[in-house]
Structure 1
Amino acid sequence: MTRATLRLSIDRAVDGMKEAMADGLELGMEYALGETRREVPIDEATLERSGTASVDRASLTGAVSYDTPYAVPQHENLQWRHLGGRKAKYLEEPFAAAGPEIMALVAARVRRVTRG
């Protein structure tokens, strides 16, 4: 009589999916950073160059941020005028619009892992 045994490690599968989700989230945050850079106010491009995308792989959270002393006022002050196509809310609006693409990038990475 022939005997077959199947061993399934749920922990290993979950770890693989979390890793794939983190990879997809990193791609998504880079995509979102690019989208925000299209709208960030620009004078000498210091604010634009300060933009970064980051992911906390343990908690599966991602962020796009800009790091200058005037990043928040530029984002929040709706009264300030900006050059062609640049505007306040340069993070909020493009990031929200990028949501479906971010989710698609995460889903694509997870599909690669689950399909073997």
Structure 2
Amino acid sequence: MLIVKIVGIAFITLFIMLLFKQSKNELNTFLVLTAGALILLIMIEPLRQVIDFVKEIADKANIDMVYIGIVLKILAIAYIASFSSALCKDANADSLATQIDLSGKIMILVLAIPILMAVLNSILQIM
């Protein structure tokens, strides 16, 4: 199971960080970033499976793939921004984490505009 690998990486990283807690703080930051990158790499394949499943369901439901693509991009931006922000907070770069959060929210808003326009057009056609 993937969760066992992820928790194992996290615990190994935590153990190493505790061993070096008294020495260099820079090493702890590097360890956290490395563990985060490894966890992200492990999760690529399951994410690909989810995307394929969503596309398959959208095809069966005759949903325009443009909207599904936008929703998937929005989800990707949310997860990447959250993950990156958490890493920056762990590295004591709180202002950088805040900028990542804000940028992610703005990008999501920009991507959501075509979906909002389609919903508004549908409502106007009904009236």
Same fold by TM (over 0.5)?
no
Q: Which structure: greater strand fraction?
A: 1
TM-score (norm 1): 0.34
| Structure with bigger RCO (C-alpha 8 Å, 6+ apart) | 1
TM-score (norm 2): 0.32
Q: Which structure: greater helix fraction?
A: 2
